[in-house]
Amino acid sequence: MDESTLATHFRAVLQLTRTQVEVLEARRRRTCDPVELGGLRHRLEYALGYRDALEQALWEGGAPPERPSARTARLSRCVEQITTSGDRRQVAVLERVLHEQLVDRTRALARLTAAGDHRPVHYWARRYLAHCRSLGDPQPAGGDERWSVRSR
């Protein structure tokens, strides 16, 4: 796989991770429950570490981690609107969709970086997947192929 394709995968996962961080931070600002706050802090730790590893890998590869786009700005506004609406169902749906997309892309990224060229990204990808398993996320019955990134 060439570097530009890998950088494209990095950027896709980075955007999902940044969006997840936005949602988690918005939830953290809105909650007072100490148990929920502890869980959110824990999830933020994983998301922030993963985000930092992806940004670092992009910089080291000579590709800036962020390409400002209208789509990114719209997504950010949409996420902000949903998280500030106070509708817990919408926030839950948004989190689930983000989570499924991030797990899908992370599994693909873990396979792509398994050769060792991007150890920090591979480490955080595997750590993120292990964290998801520890939270009790259901594992796909057919293995990774059901969750793999197909050509889009």
The two three-digit tokens of residue 96, written as one number: 């689930």
Q: Report the top-level CATH class of 3-147.
A: mainly alpha
pLDDT attached to residue 145: 42
What is the model's pLDDT at position 95? 84
- Report the range out of 13-22, 60-69, 87-96 with the highest average pLDDT: 13-22
Q: Which of 12-21, 105-114, 115-124 has the lowest mean pLDDT?
A: 115-124
- Residue ranges per domain, the chain? 3-147
pTM: 0.77
CA distances from 128 to 19, 75, 94 (A): 15, 23, 19
> Does the structure show a pLDDT above 60 at 147?
no
pLDDT at 1 over 60: no
- In the structure encoding, which two tokens stand for residue 105, read together? 């892309």
> pLDDT exceeding 70 applies to what percent of the chain?
83
Within 13 Å and on the Cβ side, how many CA atoms surround 141?
0
* Alpha-carbon span 23 to 94, nearest angstrom: 9
Q: 82-98, pLDDT tens digit by residue? A: 877 777 888 888 888 88
**Cα–Cα distance for residue pair 77/63, rounded to 1 Å:** 25
